[in-house]
């Protein structure tokens, strides 16, 4: 027994020795490093992390090209990681307390931004002096700022639209005008008729993704969390209650084609299994992937909530923004963002034509590329429409834990569909959320 | 009656075989189709294999990633089995009063999940980057070092060393071989099957390793194959044909290693059960 004890003690001493050694060394190492990279602030090398080669990375390449013209010395490394991988890497890096290996600029989804900004307050570089918040669509400022300081450069608009199969609704005896500016109640009624006449469902939904609930409540200026971004606002949230009721009504009306994941979601669209797809504008390339359906699609304003008084025909799903990390090179990184995504109107035209990215910089929300008709959608000027709807999206504070709360709601939604009362469902969800989100 | 039983057996085995083979079949078939067809659930081979391949080779650093994965996996495997077998052999053959305590502590370390080690490990490698950049973050060494010795592999070799006749060690000593000589000239050749099994296990886990390389590797030219595949699926409109082809390519080396050493693998695993 004594020997075991002795062994453990010696292990402890050894471990303690190691850790103090490491701690002693650290300042010297990081000091040396920052000293080296301080020299020549403009010629610094910056690293950017983003996901999706066809979208964000492509946009970055255009920005890099535009920036390099003005600053030929700048060296910009664009590194592609999957979104989940970026979150994992950021969390590990920031938790370990070293700035090594972190990028200068990182793309973060708006729903997750406040979580990072509030958990690691010193890790991000304040851009208040570099860009002007009022230059961007209002609704983007909530997620990208904290305590009056602007940390993010708003990027793509997650503005939604209702993608409609013209041939199906005409078969059911409707015209496009009948579906324009409707509310979700009318939407379900139309869905029933379409189902009867054509046998097609009106929408495809994944029970594990409440994107449609998020779209519905944001159109009414409401969110899972109260305006402070910290207090769960589920029980007594009228818009959320209405959205839940509509969801159940939709399910019970038998007009929903259930999908299990993203690939099935896309498949249901491409196979022509559904008559409408209310979702973010980023779905456009996936819809167009089935070229044989050209001319059969149109995009209409998203339906609104019938009973929530301030609900509008515009809302958001997804979208992300750029953040500068507070590490050596931050000034160069901020300068890069300010000169490209922060102000370059011409570059946004380029982004739209070549990448299909709809930005949120107000000054860039017009121009030739925006009014270009799209033949796939029967010559509709889809970007003009999206840009107009972007300006109307109600501003909400996504807060720190959109996805944690959504996990709770996904389970409670199933309880609700199985017969639990709505008030009970929401107050149970509220209790769980309060216990979890602190 | 016997015939009927046979039919039943074959039907059951056929069903089980189908369930295990279908995903692979689906993967290979999908690699030859374009994305839209994959999502539609097309089961027939298509003619987009070449298209997918060209796109994959053009849009990603496929060859660099394959090369990175290959050298990391091969080096890790060789180093890991040499080190772990030396340790396992030592634990079994040599006598020491402390060895069981040390061995138990070693086994206890198997209970610590990697998620708990990740952040301190990252910190360690980040700190060392300043003094010894060659083994700091974003290097091949940083991916390999934490995986070179695993408690499991040492345990595996110790269990298998129990079958190794101690008389042969004695004989070796009498004939004047050094201790290392006994290990390399007698133990290693005798335990070929164990080495094969350990080799396959290590190669596969190293080839498929995802979380640690993801954390510690930064630059695109260091990326391994699992990271490359992870990127492919991350877009708003992923190209499923392309992803499937990338997965086929990523599966081939492990499948090859497994089939080449299958006979030894089964024998080696049986040995550790005995």
CATH code, A97: 3.40.190.10
A12 has a pLDDT exceeding 90: no
Q: Who has greater pLDDT, A97 or A407? A: A407
B236 touches chain A (CB under 8 A): yes
pLDDT confidence band for B269 (50 / 70 / 90): low
Which chain B residues are Cβ-neighbours of A95 within 8 angstroms?
119
Residue A21 counted as domain residue = no
Q: What is the mean predicted confidence (pLDDT) over A58-78?
A: 91
Residues 6+ apart with CB under 8 A from B170: none
The predicted model scores a pTM of: 0.83
Q: For A54, which of B220, B230, B237 is closest by C-beta distance?
A: B237
The pLDDT of residue A108 is 95
Which chain A residues are Cβ-neighbours of B223 within 8 angstroms?
none
The pLDDT of residue B234 is 76
Delimit the domains of chain B by residue range. Answer: 61-273
A267 to B41: CB separation less than 8 angstroms, yes or no: yes
Partner residues linked to A154 by β-bridges: A321
A26 to B227: CB separation less than 8 angstroms, yes or no: no
Partner residues linked to A162 by β-bridges: A278, A300
The pLDDT of residue B4 is 84
B25-49 pLDDT tens trace: 999 999 998 887 887 778 888 888 9
B220 to A79: CB separation less than 8 angstroms, yes or no: yes
Closest CA to A151 of A355, A351, A321, A328: A321
Q: Domain check: are A64 and A179 in the same one?
A: no
End-to-end CA distance of chain A: 44
Instruction: Give the whole-number percent of chain A exceeding pLDDT 70.
Output: 90
B86-105 pLDDT tens trace: 999 999 988 888 888 999 99
Contact at 8 Å (CB) between B240 and B37?
no
B127 touches chain A (CB under 8 A): yes
Between CA A438 and CA A232 the distance in angstroms is 10
pLDDT confidence band for A23 (50 / 70 / 90): very low
Structure tokens at B90: 């030592």
The pLDDT of residue B235 is 73
The pLDDT of residue A8 is 47
The pLDDT of residue A5 is 45
Q: Domain check: are A178 and A104 in the same one?
A: no
Q: Domain check: are A286 and A429 in the same one?
A: yes
A257 touches chain B (CB under 8 A): no
Q: Which of A82-86, A285-289, A319-323 has the lowest mean pLDDT?
A: A285-289
Q: For A32, which of B130, B214, B220 is closest by C-beta distance?
A: B130
Q: Domain check: are A347 and A305 in the same one?
A: no
Closest CA to B148 of B186, B211, B198: B198
Residue A215 counted as domain residue = yes
| Most B-contacting residue of A20, A33, A86, A100 (CB-CB within 10 A), to test interface | A100
- Tell which CATH classification among 1.10.3720.10, 3.30.70.20, 3.50.50.60, 1.10.1060.10 matches the domain B61-273: 1.10.3720.10
Q: What is the mean predicted confidence (pLDDT) over B10-35?
A: 92
Q: Give the structural domain span for A290.
A: 160-315+397-436
Closest CA to A294 of A270, A275, A262: A270
B63 touches chain A (CB under 8 A): no
| Most B-contacting residue of A3, A21, A81, A283 (CB-CB within 10 A), to test interface | A81
A98 to B98: CB separation less than 8 angstroms, yes or no: no
Q: Which of A36-40, A171-175, B112-116, B128-132 has the lowest mean pLDDT?
A: A36-40
A239 has a pLDDT exceeding 50: yes
ipTM score for this prediction: 0.82
List, in sequence order, every beta strand (DSSP E) within B178-251.
Answer: none
pLDDT confidence band for A412 (50 / 70 / 90): very high
Q: For B237, which of A81, A97, A285 is closest by C-beta distance?
A: A285
B40 to A97: CB separation less than 8 angstroms, yes or no: no
Contact at 8 Å (CB) between B223 and B217?
yes
Which chain B residues are Cβ-neighbours of A83 within 8 angstroms?
234
Q: Domain check: are A273 and A359 in the same one?
A: no
B122 to A270: CB separation less than 8 angstroms, yes or no: no
Between CA A369 and CA A343 the distance in angstroms is 17
Q: Who has greater pLDDT, A4 or A429? A: A429
Q: Domain check: are A175 and A274 in the same one?
A: yes
| Most B-contacting residue of A6, A18, A92 (CB-CB within 10 A), to test interface | A92
Residue A230 counted as domain residue = yes
Q: Domain check: are A65 and A193 in the same one?
A: no
Which chain A residues are Cβ-neighbours of B240 within 8 angstroms?
263
B16 has a pLDDT exceeding 90: yes
A55 to B236: CB separation less than 8 angstroms, yes or no: yes
Instruction: Give the whole-number percent of chain A exceeding pLDDT 90.
Output: 62
Q: Domain check: are A106 and A224 in the same one?
A: no
Structure tokens at B117: 């080690």
B59 to A26: CB separation less than 8 angstroms, yes or no: no
Residue A8 counted as domain residue = no
Phi, psi of B197 (to 5 degrees): -65, -45
Q: Which of A103-107, B58-62, B216-220, B270-274 has the lowest mean pLDDT?
A: B270-274
Contact at 8 Å (CB) between A341 and A153?
yes
Residue A29 counted as domain residue = no
A79 touches chain B (CB under 8 A): yes
CA B22 to each of CA B15, B16, B28, B45, B245: distance values in angstroms, whole numbers, following the listed order = 10, 10, 10, 14, 16
Q: Which of A234-238, A285-289, A412-416 has the lowest mean pLDDT?
A: A285-289
Between CA B202 and CA B250 the distance in angstroms is 16
Q: Domain check: are A126 and A256 in the same one?
A: no
B113 touches chain A (CB under 8 A): no
Residue A391 counted as domain residue = no
The pLDDT of residue A7 is 52
Q: Domain check: are A282 and A413 in the same one?
A: yes
pLDDT confidence band for B133 (50 / 70 / 90): confident
B230 to A262: CB separation less than 8 angstroms, yes or no: no
The pLDDT of residue A230 is 85
Q: Which residue of B has its CA nearest to A79?
A: B220
A92 to B122: CB separation less than 8 angstroms, yes or no: yes
A414 touches chain B (CB under 8 A): no
Mean residue pLDDT across chain B: 89
What's the structural domain count of chain A? 2
B230 to A52: CB separation less than 8 angstroms, yes or no: no
The pLDDT of residue A26 is 33
B98 to A3: CB separation less than 8 angstroms, yes or no: yes
Q: Domain check: are A249 and A350 in the same one?
A: no
Q: For A97, which of B35, B123, B137 is closest by C-beta distance?
A: B123
The pLDDT of residue A429 is 94
Q: What is the mean predicted confidence (pLDDT) over B226-235?
A: 86
SS (H, E, C) chain A: CHHHHHHHHHHHHHHHHHHHHHHHHHHHHHHHHHHHHHCCCCCCEEEEEECCHHHHHHHHHHHHHHHHHHCCCCEEEEEECCHHHHHHHHHHHHHCCCCCCCCCEEEEEHHHHHHHHHHCCCCECCCCCCCCHHHECHHHHHHHEECCEECEEECCCCEEEEEEEHHHHHHCCCCHHHHCCCEHHHHHHHHHHHHHHHCCECEEECCCCCHHHHHHHHHCCCCCECCCCCCECCCCCHHHHHHHHHHHHHHHCCCEEECCCHHHHHHHHHCCCECEEEEEHHHHHHHHCCHHHCCCEEEECCCECCCCCCCCCCCECCCEEEEEECCCCHHHHHHHHHHCCCCCHHHHHHHHHHHCCCCCEHHHCCCHHHHCCEHHHCCECHHHHHHHHHHHCCCCCCCCCHHHHHHHHHHHHHHHHCCCCHHHHHHHHHHHHHHHCC
Q: Domain check: are A311 and A342 in the same one?
A: no
Q: What is the mean predicted confidence (pLDDT) over B7-24?
A: 93
């Amino acid at each position: 027994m004594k020997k075991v004890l002795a062994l453990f003690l010696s292990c402890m001493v050894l471990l303690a020795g190691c850790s103090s050694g490491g701690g002693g060394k650290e300042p010297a190492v990081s000091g040396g490093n920052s000293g080296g990279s301080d020299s020549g602030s403009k010629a610094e090398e910056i690293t950017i992390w983003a996901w999706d080669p066809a979208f964000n990375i492509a946009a970055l390449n255009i920005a890099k090209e535009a920036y390099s013209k003005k600053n030929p010395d700048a060296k910009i490394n664009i590194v592609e990681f999957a979104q989940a991988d970026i979150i994992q890497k950021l969390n590990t890096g920031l938790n370990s307390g070293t700035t090594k290996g972190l990028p200068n600029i990182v793309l973060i989804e708006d729903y997750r931004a406040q979580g990072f900004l509030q958990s690691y307050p010193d890790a991000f570089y304040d851009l208040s002096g570099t860009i002007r918040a009022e230059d961007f669509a209002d609704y983007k400022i909530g997620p990208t700022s904290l305590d009056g300081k602007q940390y993010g450069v708003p990027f793509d608009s997650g503005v939604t639209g209702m993608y409609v199969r013209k041939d199906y609704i005409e078969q059911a005896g409707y015209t496009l005008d009948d579906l324009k500016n409707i509310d979700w109640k009318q939407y379900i009624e139309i869905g029933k008729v379409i189902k009867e006449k054509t046998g097609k469902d009106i929408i495809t939904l994944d029970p594990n993704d409440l994107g449609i609930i998020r779209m519905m409540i944001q159109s009414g200026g409401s969110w899972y969390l109260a305006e402070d971004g910290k207090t769960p606002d589920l029980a007594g949230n009228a818009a959320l209650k209405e959205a839940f009721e509509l969801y159940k009504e939709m399910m019970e009306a038998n007009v929903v084609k259930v999908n299990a994941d993203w690939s099935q979601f896309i498949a249901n669209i491409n196979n022509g299994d559904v008559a409408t797809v209310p979702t973010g504008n980023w779905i456009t390339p996936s819809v167009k992937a089935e070229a044989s359906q050209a001319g059969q699609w149109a995009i209409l304003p998203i339906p609104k909530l019938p009973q929530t008084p301030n609900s509008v025909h515009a809302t958001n799903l997804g979208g992300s923004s750029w953040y500068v990390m507070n590490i050596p090179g931050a000034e160069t990184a901020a300068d890069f963002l300010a000169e490209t995504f922060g102000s370059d109107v011409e570059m946004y035209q380029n982004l739209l034509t070549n990448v299909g990215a709809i930005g949120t910089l107000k000054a860039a929300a017009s121009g030739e590329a925006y009014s270009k008709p799209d033949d796939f959608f029967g010559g509709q000027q889809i970007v003009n429409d999206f840009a107009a709807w972007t300006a109307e999206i109600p501003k909400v504070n996504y807060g720190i834990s959109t996805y944690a709360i959504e996990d709770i709601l996904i389970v409670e939604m199933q309880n609700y569909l199985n017969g639990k009362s709505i008030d009970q469902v929401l107050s149970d969800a509220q209790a769980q959320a309060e216990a979890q989100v602190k | 009656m016997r015939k009927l039983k046979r039919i039943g057996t074959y039907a059951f085995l056929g069903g089980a075989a189908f369930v295990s083979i279908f995903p692979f079949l689906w993967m290979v078939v999908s690699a030859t189709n374009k994305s839209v067809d994959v999502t539609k659930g097309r089961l027939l081979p298509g003619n987009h294999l070449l298209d997918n391949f060209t796109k994959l080779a053009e849009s990603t650093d496929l060859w660099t990633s394959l090369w990175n994965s290959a050298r990391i996996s091969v080096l890790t495997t060789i180093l890991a089995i040499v080190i772990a077998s030396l340790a396992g052999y030592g634990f079994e053959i040599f006598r020491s009063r402390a060895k069981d305590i040390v061995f138990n502590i070693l086994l206890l370390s198997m209970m610590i999940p990697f998620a708990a080690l990740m952040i301190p490990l990252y910190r360690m490698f980040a700190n060392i980057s300043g003094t010894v950049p060659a083994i700091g973050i974003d290097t091949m060494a940083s991916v390999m070092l934490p995986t070179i010795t695993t408690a499991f592999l040492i345990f595996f070799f110790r269990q298998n060393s129990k079958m190794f006749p101690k008389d042969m060690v004695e004989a070796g000593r009498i004939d004047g071989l050094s201790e290392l000589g006994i290990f390399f000239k007698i133990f290693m050749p005798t335990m070929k099957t164990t080495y094969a099994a350990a080799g396959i296990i290590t190669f596969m886990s190293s080839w498929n390793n995802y979380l640690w390389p993801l954390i510690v590797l930064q630059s695109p030219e260091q990326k391994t194959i699992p990271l490359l595949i992870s990127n492919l699926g991350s877009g708003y409109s992923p190209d499923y044909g392309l992803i499937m082809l990338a997965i086929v390519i990523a599966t081939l080396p492990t499948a090859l290693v497994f089939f080449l050493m299958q006979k030894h693998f089964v024998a080696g695993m049986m040995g550790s059960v005995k």
